């Protein structure tokens, strides 16, 4: 077992019975501020845009919960997978603003004390997050107490029955680990499920997601107070069987890796052994796990699509000849900031620049194609769960 700062790669030798060699990849952190222009902090605008889609609904839910609780003197708000950079305080700030707006209605009563818990994996750059606090509106309220709670949200993180309002955005599509396969490298040449890939690979990914999401809900059920809200946004898909567009970001990454293997720049067997710890579920996946765990009532479960084009500062039409290149470059930067640490641990630092150069070219070709021109939309689910009384 080899431990690295940003990922864990567990390799077991093949057994004599020819069963699968096991390679488990886990996401430990995203590119930190030390990674310069490739840092997550500088390349998380798309995640911010995703969060903006649900902002009004989240704020209405926070305000309604505060009223339903009888305008209590304190509330606990938690963000699971806060990451680092400018988005790290975004989700909790939205909730705090909504609660304080309601509190002002009952002026001159003092505002509630709001305990804000920020959670992410232990390797997350929490120091960078807390450096943002003095200039954040959170500090100006005078009634917010912010703390970090490192740990995997697939395990218990918080005290029992301590949380009122829990939010997570752009995090739960990452699994606790890549799924293990029953046979040796059934996903050869791929790093994720694909439209025409083996059913066994999809089954393995689905099973891993079900196990992880069940653990996630069970832990939150212990940590949340009755009638508390769990508000989640993450990558999903519309159909039980993934489409080509559901998988293209990972398919092209696999293609770029196989190109490098053909040129002798990475080991082809390493490509066959690598699977990303990621899964975009369909609604049936979610419904089954929620029903099985049993502690939550579904208040909202809806899909929405968002395009990176919403980040353009100036209007651009689909006929803009520069748009495919811009989409490819921006998408590459976002993906690299998130997944480079685990790729670096598996394939080596020296392979990264060449890999993402090839990746960007493949994306540009996709965005220029007549059948997929500028089609960069990403499906997310907005899921609101209420903790049952019993």
The answer to whether residue 344 sits within a structural domain is no
pLDDT of residue 179: 94
The answer to whether residue 291 sits within a structural domain is yes
The answer to whether residue 215 sits within a structural domain is yes
Nearest C-alpha neighbor of 385 from the set 279, 285, 328, 301: 301
Mean pLDDT, residues 138-160 taken together: 95
Percent of the chain whose predicted confidence (pLDDT) is above 90: 78
The answer to whether residue 233 sits within a structural domain is yes
pLDDT of residue 8: 33
Cα separation of 128 and 86, whole Å?
Answer: 10
pLDDT of residue 29: 64
DSSP string, 157-189: -S-TT-EEEEEEES-TTB-SSPPP-SSS-TTTT
Look up the domain containing 269 and give its range: 47-325+374-387
The answer to whether residue 365 sits within a structural domain is no
Q: 117 or 16, which is more confident?
A: 117
| CB-CB contact of 45 with 294 (8 Å) | no
- 44 pLDDT above the threshold of 90: no
The answer to whether residue 32 sits within a structural domain is no
pLDDT in tens, 246-289: 999 999 999 999 999 999 999 999 999 999 999 999 999 999 99
Least confident of 42-56, 98-112, 276-290, 310-324: 310-324
CATH number at residue 272: 3.40.50.150
The answer to whether residue 70 sits within a structural domain is yes
The answer to whether residue 348 sits within a structural domain is no
| Domain count of the fold of the chain | 1
On average, the pLDDT of the chain sits at 89
- 228 pLDDT above the threshold of 70: yes
């Amino acid at each position: 077992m080899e431990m690295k700062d940003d990922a864990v790669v567990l390799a077991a030798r093949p057994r004599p019975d020819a069963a699968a060699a096991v390679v488990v990849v886990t996401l430990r952190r995203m590119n930190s501020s030390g990674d310069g222009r490739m840092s997550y902090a500088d390349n998380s605008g798309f995640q911010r845009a995703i969060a903006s889609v649900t902002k009004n609904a989240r704020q209405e839910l926070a305000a309604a919960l505060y009223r339903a609780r009888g305008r209590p003197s304190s509330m606990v708000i938690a963000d699971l997978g806060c990451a680092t950079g400018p988005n790290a305080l975004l989700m909790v700030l939205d909730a705090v603003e909504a609660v304080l707006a309601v509190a002002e209605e009952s002026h001159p009563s003092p505002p509630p004390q709001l305990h804000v818990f920020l959670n992410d994996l232990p390797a997350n750059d929490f120091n960078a997050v807390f450096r943002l606090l003095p200039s954040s509106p959170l500090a100006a309220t005078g009634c917010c107490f912010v703390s970090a709670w490192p740990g995997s949200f697939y395990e218990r993180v918080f005290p029992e029955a301590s949380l009122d309002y829990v939010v997570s955005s752009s995090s739960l599509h990452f699994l606790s680990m890549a799924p293990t396969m029953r046979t040796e490298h059934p996903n050869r040449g791929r790093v994720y499920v694909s439209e025409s890939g083996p059913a066994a690979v999809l089954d393995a990914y689905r099973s891993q997601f079900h196990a992880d999401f069940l653990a996630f809900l069970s832990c939150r059920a212990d940590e949340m107070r009755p009638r508390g809200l769990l508000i989640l946004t993450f990558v999903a898909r519309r159909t039980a069987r993934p489409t080509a567009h559901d998988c293209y970001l990972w398919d092209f990454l696999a293609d770029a890796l196989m190109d490098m293997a053909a040129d002798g720049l990475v080991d082809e067997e390493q490509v066959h052994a690598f699977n990303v710890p990621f899964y975009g579920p369909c609604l049936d996946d979610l419904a089954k796990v929620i029903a099985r765990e049993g502690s939550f009532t579904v208040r909202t479960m809806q899909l929405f699509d968002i395009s990176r084009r919403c980040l353009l500062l100036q209007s651009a039409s689909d006929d803009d000849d520069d748009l495919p290149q811009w989409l490819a470059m921006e998408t590459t930067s976002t993906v690299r900031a998130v997944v480079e640490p685990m790729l670096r641990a598996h394939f080596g630092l020296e392979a990264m620049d060449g890999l993402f150069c090839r990746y960007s070219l493949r994306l540009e070709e996709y965005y220029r194609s007549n059948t997929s021109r500028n089609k960069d939309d990403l499906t997310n689910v907005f899921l609101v769960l209420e903790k049952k009384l019993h």
